[in-house]
C-alpha cells in the first residue's frame, strides 16, 4: 500500500487512505490529500482524489447494483469506439463487479449522476445511479485495495482528452439513463385530451416526426442530436420509457436539460409554441368528435341516469350465481407428477379460465421451464414424465408471445419447443412483439386471441411487464391484470406469464408483479442452483385448490435443451388427485 502511495504521489496524484466501507480512514480533512506515508501502513485501501489537485483527473464510475455493469460498460465502449482506440484509458474493475474509467481534461465538473435506474426501496421507487462521475471534490478507490484491479492500461499514464471529447463521453453516459419524473400538464390528467393522445399508439411516431421537422436528427434508433449540433448526442426516445423523450442537452430550447417529456408536451412546445391549451382543444375535437365535454362531476340527466341503471341491472343479473345450479370444474390445461409416499401423484397444475406466473431472477432459466410446458401443451403428452399436457381436443392451440428478445432469440425459443418434442407441430405459434409499444402489444395479443378463440387453450407471455408503460404504476398494473382476467375468461384459455424478480429480494418486479401474483392460480419460482450453472430449482410458491408440488431440478443439456430427470426411468403407480 505504501509503495503504491509513493508511485501515485510521484506521478502527481493526490491520495487518501480508505476503510473497508470505502470511507476516508483519517480524522483530518482529505481534500488536499494525505501525504504522511504512515497513514497507509495499516489502512484497508487507498483512494485517488480527483480534480485539480491530481491534474484535473476525472473518473467514470459504472456501478453494478443491478448486475449488468459489464453489459453497460461494453455498450459504452462500443459507443465511444473511436476515442477508445485513440487513447489508452486506464480501466479498473471494482469489488462489486463495476468499472472505473479514467481520464484528465482541462475542464471537468464536480461529482455528477449521469444515468440512473428505478429501484424499489421500502415500497417506493427511487433513482439509483448506474453511471456517475468522480470529479472535483471526489475520489475513487484504487488498486491495490482488495478486489480492485487495473485491467487495462496504466493509471500512471492517464490520457488528457479535449473538452469536446469529454462532452461527448458525458453525453453517451447520459443516454443510458432510465429514470424520469414526468410533470404532467393539467391537460394530461386521466381521460383529458393530452392523456388520450399520450395513450394513442401513434403518439410516439407523431412526436418523432415533430422532432425531426424542427431539426432534430435521429442518429440511430432512439438516439437523437439537437438542431445545429454536428456531432454527439443530445436526447433519447423510448429509452427511459416507451414513449418518453428525455433531453440531456443544456442547449436544446425549449427543452430543459435532464428532463423527460411526453408526446403531448413535445408537440405542444414545438408546434404550438408552448400553448398547451390550443393543442388540447384540437385533440378534444379529435377524440371527442366535436361533442361537448361533460363535466366530470356534473349531474346526469334523467335519460342518462335511467340508461346507467339499466346497464348496471343487466350486469348484476349476468353476474348472479344460482347456487342451486352446479357449475362444472374448469378443464385442466396442464398436470404435474409428484413423488409422494411411494406413489406418483398426478395433479392438475393449470386450468382453463385462469392465469399463472413464473418468477425468477435474470437468467434463472424461466423461459426454459416454459419451453417444457409449451411442449407438453402442444403435444398433450407427458414431457420427461413430469409435465403433462391435458388440453381438451377442441382447445389445443398453443401460442408464445415474446416481448423481450430479438427475432433470432425468439426463433430459438420457438425451435426449442420443437426440439423437446422431436418433431414439428402445427398447433403451436411463436410471435415476437419486442419492437411494439405496450399498447400495441396488448392490441396484438387481443387480436390473436380473438382470431384463434375457437381453438386457443394455452398461452405464454414471456415479459408480461412489457404490456405496461410503467412497472410501478398502480393503474398500469391494474390494467394488465384486468386484461389477463378478461382474456382467460372470454377465451377460456390458460395464460402463463413470465416475470423477473427484483435483484435484492425475491419479489416480482414492481406493482405489476405484485398485482399478478395476487390473482394468479399458481406461482412458480425458478432459482439458479448454487455451484452448477446448468441447473435450476423449480419451486411451487403457491397454488390454489391442490397441494404444493415438490421442488425439482431443470437441467440444460449439451445441446441447450432443458431436461427434467426427476421421474425418468422410474417404475411407479400413478394416483390422480382431484380438486
Give the C-alpha separation, 33 to 131, whole Å. 25
DSSP code for 397: E
The answer to whether 214 and 234 are in contact (CB under 8 A) is: no
pLDDT at 449: 93
Which residues share a beta bridge with 554?
536
**Grid coordinates belonging to 497:** 406469464
Average pLDDT over residues 546-550: 87
Residue environment code for 62-94, b if the CB has 16+ CB neighbours within 10 A, otherwise e: bbbbbebbeebbeebbebbeebbeebebbbbbb
Predicted confidence (pLDDT) at residue 541 exceeds the cutoff of 80: yes
> How many other CB atoms sit within 10 Å of the CB of residue 357?
24
Residue 358 has pLDDT above 90, yes or no: yes
CA–CA dist 206, 9 (Å, integer): 56
Q: Please classify residue 8 by burial: count the beta carbons closer than 10 Å to its beta carbon, then call 0-12 exposed, 13-18 middle and 19+ buried.
A: buried
Of 282-291, 309-318, 331-340, 436-445, give the range with the top mean pLDDT: 436-445
Q: Residue 306 above 60 pLDDT? A: no
87-103 mean pLDDT = 96
The span from the CA of 297 to the CA of 304, in Å, is 14
pLDDT at 295: 44
Percent of the chain exceeding pLDDT 70 equals 92
Distances (CA, A) of 323 to 173, 306, 316, 447: 63, 30, 16, 35
Neighbouring C-alpha atoms within 13 Å toward the C-beta of 178: 15
**Per-residue model confidence (pLDDT) at position 546:** 85
Name which of 148-152, 160-164, 383-387 the model is least confident about: 383-387
Give the separation between CA 269 and CA 275, rounded to whole angstroms.
7
Question: How far, in Å, are 495, 496, 502 from residue 331 at the CA level?
Answer: 14, 16, 34
State yes or no: cis peptide before 218, omega within 30 of 0.
Answer: no
Rounded mean pLDDT of the chain? Answer: 87
Torsion of CA 462, 465, 466, 467, to 10 degrees: 100
- Tell me the residue ranges of DSSP E strands in 31-178: 45-49, 57-62, 91-93, 99-105, 113-121, 124-134, 139-142, 149-152, 160-161
Extract the C-alpha cell encoding 177.
439513463
The per-residue pLDDT for range 175-232, each reduced to its tens digit, is: 999 888 777 888 888 878 898 898 887 888 899 999 999 999 998 888 999 998 888 8
Contact 467, 505 (CB under 8 A): no
Residue 4: the pLDDT is 93
Label residue 478 by pLDDT band (50, 70, 90): confident
In terms of pLDDT, which residue wins out, 81 or 243?
Answer: 81
Percent of the chain with pLDDT over 90: 58
Q: How far apart are CA 310 and CA 339, in angstroms?
A: 54
What pLDDT does 397 receive?
A: 94
- Greater confidence (394 vs 61) lies with 61
Region for 440 from its dihedrals, namely left if φ exceeds 0, alpha if ψ lies in -120 to 50, beta otherwise: alpha
What mean pLDDT is predicted for residues 499-509?
A: 75
Confirm whether pTM is higher than 0.75. Answer: no
Q: Where are the beta strands (DSSP E) in 452-556?
A: 456-462, 494-500, 522-529, 532-543, 552-556
pLDDT for the residue numbered 375: 95
Task: Please tell me the predicted confidence (pLDDT) of residue 293.
Answer: 42
Q: Is the pLDDT of residue 578 over 60?
A: no
- Check whether 307 has a pLDDT greater than 70: no
What pLDDT is stored for residue 294 in this prediction? 41
Determine the average pLDDT of the residues in 60-76.
Answer: 93
Report the relative pairing of strands 45-49 and 139-142 from DSSP bridges: antiparallel
pLDDT range class, residue 290, cuts 50, 70, 90: very low
Q: In this predicted model, which residue has the larger pLDDT, 357 or 191?
A: 357
pLDDT for 309 equals 61
Cell matching residue 388? 403433462
Spatial separation of the C-alpha atoms in residues 364 and 362, rounded to whole Å: 6
Residue whose C-alpha is closest to residue 402's, from 370, 424, 372:
370
Amino acid at each position: 500500500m505504501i509503495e503504491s502511495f509513493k508511485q501515485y504521489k510521484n506521478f502527481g496524484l493526490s491520495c487518501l487512505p480508505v476503510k473497508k466501507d470505502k470511507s476516508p480512514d483519517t480524522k483530518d480533512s482529505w481534500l488536499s490529500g494525505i501525504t504522511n506515508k504512515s497513514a497507509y501502513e495499516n489502512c484497508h485501501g487507498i483512494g485517488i482524489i480527483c480534480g485539480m489537485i491530481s491534474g484535473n483527473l476525472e473518473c467514470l464510475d459504472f456501478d453494478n447494483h443491478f448486475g449488468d455493469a459489464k453489459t453497460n460498460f461494453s455498450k459504452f465502449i462500443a459507443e465511444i469506439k473511436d476515442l477508445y482506440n485513440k487513447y489508452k484509458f486506464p480501466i479498473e474493475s471494482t469489488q462489486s463487479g463495476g468499472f472505473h474509467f479514467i481520464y484528465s481534461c482541462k475542464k471537468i465538473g464536480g461529482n455528477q449522476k449521469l444515468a440512473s435506474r428505478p429501484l424499489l426501496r421500502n415500497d417506493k421507487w427511487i433513482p439509483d445511479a448506474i453511471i456517475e462521475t468522480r470529479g472535483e471534490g471526489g475520489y475513487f478507490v484504487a488498486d491495490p485495495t482488495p478486489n480492485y484491479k487495473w485491467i487495462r492500461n496504466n493509471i500512471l499514464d492517464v490520457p488528457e482528452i479535449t473538452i469536446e471529447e469529454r462532452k461527448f463521453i458525458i453525453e453517451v453516459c447520459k443516454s443510458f439513463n432510465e429514470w424520469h419524473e414526468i410533470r404532467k400538464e393539467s391537460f394530461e390528467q386521466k381521460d383529458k385530451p393530452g392523456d388520450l393522445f399520450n395513450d394513442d399508439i401513434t403518439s410516439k411516431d407523431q412526436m418523432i416526426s415533430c422532432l425531426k421537422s424542427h431539426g432534430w436528427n435521429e442518429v440511430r434508433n432512439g438516439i437523437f442530436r439537437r438542431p445545429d449540433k454536428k456531432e454527439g448526442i443530445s436526447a433519447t426516445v423510448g429509452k427511459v420509457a416507451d414513449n418518453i423523450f428525455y433531453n440531456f442537452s443544456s442547449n436544446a430550447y425549449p427543452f430543459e436539460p435532464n428532463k423527460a417529456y411526453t408526446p403531448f408536451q413535445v408537440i405542444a412546445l414545438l408546434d404550438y409554441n408552448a400553448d398547451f391549451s390550443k393543442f388540447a382543444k384540437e385533440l378534444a375535437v379529435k377524440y371527442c368528435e366535436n361533442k361537448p365535454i361533460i363535466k366530470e362531476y356534473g349531474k346526469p340527466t334523467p335519460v342518462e341516469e335511467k340508461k346507467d341503471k339499466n346497464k348496471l341491472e343487466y350486469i348484476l343479473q349476468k353476474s348472479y350465481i344460482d347456487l342451486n345450479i352446479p357449475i362444472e370444474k374448469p378443464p385442466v390445461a396442464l398436470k404435474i407428477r409428484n413423488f409422494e409416499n411411494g406413489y406418483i401423484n398426478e395433479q392438475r397444475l393449470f386450468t382453463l379460465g385462469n392465469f399463472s406466473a413464473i418468477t425468477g431472477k435474470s437468467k434463472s432459466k424461466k423461459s426454459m421451464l416454459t419451453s417444457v410446458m409449451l411442449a407438453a401443451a402442444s403435444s398433450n403428452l407427458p414431457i420427461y414424465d413430469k409435465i403433462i399436457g391435458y388440453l381438451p381436443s377442441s382447445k389445443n392451440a398453443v401460442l408464445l408471445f415474446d416481448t423481450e428478445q430479438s427475432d433470432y432469440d425468439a426463433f430459438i425459443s420457438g425451435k426449442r419447443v420443437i426440439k423437446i418434442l422431436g418433431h414439428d407441430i402445427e398447433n403451436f405459434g411463436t410471435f415476437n412483439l419486442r419492437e411494439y409499444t405496450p399498447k400495441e402489444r396488448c392490441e396484438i395479443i387481443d387480436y390473436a386471441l380473438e382470431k384463434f378463440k375457437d381453438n386457443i387453450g394455452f398461452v405464454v407471455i414471456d415479459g408480461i411487464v412489457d404490456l405496461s408503460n410503467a412497472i410501478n404504476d398502480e393503474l398500469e398494473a391494474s390494467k394488465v391484470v384486468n386484461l389477463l382476467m378478461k382474456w382467460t375468461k372470454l377465451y377460456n384459455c390458460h395464460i402463463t406469464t413470465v416475470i423477473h424478480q427484483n435483484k435484492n429480494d425475491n419479489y416480482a418486479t414492481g406493482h405489476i408483479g405484485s398485482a399478478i401474483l395476487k390473482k394468479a392460480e399458481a406461482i412458480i419460482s425458478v432459482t439458479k442452483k448454487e455451484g452448477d450453472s446448468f441447473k435450476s430449482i423449480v419451486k411451487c410458491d403457491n397454488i390454489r385448490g391442490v397441494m404444493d408440488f415438490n421442488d425439482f431440478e431443470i437441467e440444460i443439456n449439451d445441446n441447450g435443451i432443458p431436461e427434467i430427470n426427476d421421474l425418468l426411468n422410474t417404475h411407479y403407480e400413478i394416483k390422480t388427485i382431484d380438486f
